[in-house]
Amino acid sequence: MDGVEVLIVIGVIYGLLLFFDNFFKTCAHYPYIKFLEGTGLQVNFLGLKWKTKAFNRAIIRLGNTRPRFWNTWFTLGIYTSLILLPISIILFLYSVLQNLMSKDQNENNPVLVPIIPGINVPTSELGYYSLSLIVCSIVHELGHAIAAVLEDVNLVDVGANIFFILPIAYVNISTEKLVSLENKKTLKILCAGIWHNLILAAAAFFVYCSLPFLLSMFFYTNNGIMISDITKNSPLLGSKGLNIGDVITNVNDCEVVDEYSWQSCLSQIHKQKLAICIDENSIHSLDESIPLKYLENNLLECCDDSKSENICFEYMDEANGVLEIPGHACLPGRKVVEQSKVSCTLSPNSCPINQFCFRPVLGNATHLHKINCENRKVIYLGLPQDIYSTVKVSSYIPKYFFSTPAFADVLTKFTKYVIIFSLGLSILNVIPILYMDGQYIAEVLGMILLKERFGKSMSKAIITIIIYFFTMLLLYQCCYTIFNVIF
């Protein structure tokens, strides 16, 4: 079952839950109503809400333990959040300006990008998305709850909202008691969630960096990548292609040591097509050129269509009086690429003596890939996107037959998502945006900095304008991300 089918099944389940919820409520089914009241469950359209007081006593006990430590801990959280505030605003505004001034959407790489499931998160990774989000939100809300207990603010209940696949934890504290506190104590509660997310991101990053060492007993790392899965419809699958278990060390003369260098090498292929050094004797003996033909897409063709194994190559070096080398040569692609040991992609004149730099004449989207496995070379002529979408790789190469990279990959990907979400929640929550911690932090800071100069009502108006300004920018960022992916 793929990701889309899973989403459809989840949607059907929500539909059935909503139907039976309305049915039992309409019939005044007493046991069902008592069940909802007892469990704190509430069924909504494509969502669930749950609240409970079962954890209140444990949180209160935790908050009242070592109050001096917690006071220092959350005071440090205030200063860290206030340092993060201008940094986050600058990064956020810079990302917006990048999008506004970008002429080419494909080359634009904003500093901050909204993570939207189904848009820029693969459906196959929605499980990581949901699990890491609930972990980050629990740690975030636990910070608010402990800080509230420390400042004698009543804890009403805790719970979670699930909208489709997005779980968000929350704590409900006494608003009346919160607004009556002095500014520093209020900031201590408001900044606690941001502070906890920063600590979680740092801890997850430490675990992430330590994983290769911790798993080194069972896996080789930084020695290439292993093919962990290939889809059945992949054009790279086959006896001369890639297979599960193959270890890749090089792509188009770009060294591959782990999953990130693999992705980096593939992105370089998008920007620059492979050029190789071919021996002069091979050029003359293997060349099967026909008169040049100009195609509709402004490309040249020098090969007969009946010989699919041949590729038209273009001579890249300057003439320099070497008239015996043709400008174009029709050569068997797999054979010449396998024989070539030197790349001249970046420097055409770097070929050894009696070898000359040639580049395949291909369409804009088509690339020639020379993939070096441990014991053989795989030559693939096609779209780089096919590699991204049909081949899954792992940075962990098993040392023993019983060690599988599945657990290591799951742990690595989960910690990566925790880092991204926890750091992202810290940055987003500190910015003055509606319904975020930054909204209330801005209101408190505004009263501290502006009240004496502009008065209470004018200060509130200025803060409201700032909050709505950043909220509109966030909506623009989300819409831009969706539009950029779809169109």
Mean pLDDT of the 320-329 span: 70
Name the helix (H) or strand (E) containing 126: helix 126-150
Query: What pLDDT score does 3 carry?
Result: 60
Tell me the β-bridge partners of 360.
Answer: 313
Q: Between 413 and 114, name the one with better pLDDT.
A: 413
CB 362 within 8 A of CB 272: no
Mean pLDDT of the 266-275 span: 82
Question: pLDDT digit string (tens) for 341-379?
Answer: 888 877 777 788 888 889 888 876 788 888 988 878 888
Beta strands of 164-246 (E only): which ranges?
A: 166-173, 219-220, 225-230
Query: What pLDDT score does 72 carry?
Result: 96
Query: What pLDDT score does 451 carry?
Result: 84
Question: pLDDT digit string (tens) for 393-409?
Answer: 999 999 988 888 889 99
Query: What pLDDT score does 2 carry?
Result: 59
Q: Nearest Cα to 212, choosing from 199, 225, 200, 197?
A: 225
Distance of alpha carbon 302 from alpha carbon 431, whole angstroms: 59
Q: Nearest Cα to 76, choosing from 164, 218, 198?
A: 198
Mean pLDDT of the 134-142 span: 96
Distance of alpha carbon 217 from alpha carbon 398, whole angstroms: 10
Q: If you ran DSSP here, which 8-state letter would residue 237 be given?
A: B
pTM of the complete model: 0.83
Distance of alpha carbon 460 from alpha carbon 450, whole angstroms: 9
Q: What percent of the chain has pLDDT over 90?
A: 42
Question: pLDDT digit string (tens) for 111-136?
Answer: 777 776 666 677 778 888 889 999 99
Question: pLDDT digit string (tens) for 39-56?
Answer: 899 998 889 999 999 999
Question: pLDDT digit string (tens) for 432-480?
Answer: 999 999 999 999 999 999 888 888 889 999 999 999 999 999 999 888 8
Beta strands of 295-398 (E only): which ranges?
A: 300-301, 310-315, 328-332, 355-360, 367-373, 377-382, 391-394, 397-398
Query: What pLDDT score does 1 carry?
Result: 53
What would the two tokens of residue 72 be?
A: 């220092």
Q: Between 123 and 84, name the one with better pLDDT.
A: 84
Highest mean pLDDT among 3-17, 200-214, 280-294, 449-463: 200-214
Mean pLDDT of the 307-325 span: 74
Amino acid at residue number 427 = I
Q: Nearest Cα to 110, choosing from 83, 92, 133, 84?
A: 92
